[in-house]
Amino acid sequence: MSKTKDVQAAVEKELGFDPMVDSGVIAVRNVNGDVSLTGTVSFGTERAAAETAVSGLVGVRNVLNDIEISYLDDPVDVDLHVQQALDRSALVPDDSDVKAETKDGVITLTGHVHTWAEHDAVVGAAWMATGVIEVRYNLQVAG
């Protein structure tokens, strides 16, 4: 088997092993270690997990992540999903002033957080909402 086919097989196998990735919707193309990922997923975290899963494999030089995130939800529903995700996060205090503004699946987070762990939890919670295609954050860590 050629090196290109070996890398292709390793990438596809790794995607199949990752519980965060629905490998059935992701197509892989490999040209001399330059791996392209395409397809459509429901969550930004799944898109990121696919790239992370394959980027460290032997023989992979570059990863072009062209996986799209489906945007089927109404923007009002996306706002609700983001707020619910923030409410579920144990690292985001109930009295948090973090606000999430949604436009066309892009979430912009503003407000104050106490720690970097809280910052990361807020950003992660926003990515977990359905319909989110990008998260921008203007959060201030106020320690």
> Minimal CA–CA distance to 77: which of 49, 107, 98, 97?
107
User: Per residue in 66-102, pLDDT tens?
Assistant: 998 876 555 556 667 667 766 776 666 666 778 888 8
> Minimal CA–CA distance to 128: which of 56, 55, 31, 48?
48
Pick 62 or 22 by higher pLDDT.
62
Helix (H) or strand (E) holding 69: strand 62-69
Cα separation, 85 vs 132, whole angstroms: 12
Pick 103 or 39 by higher pLDDT.
39
Question: Phi and psi (nearest 5°) for 61?
Answer: -90, -45
**Residue type at 13?**
K
All structural domains of the chain, each given as residue ranges with its CATH number in brackets, are 3-69 (3.30.300.130), 75-141 (3.30.1340.30)
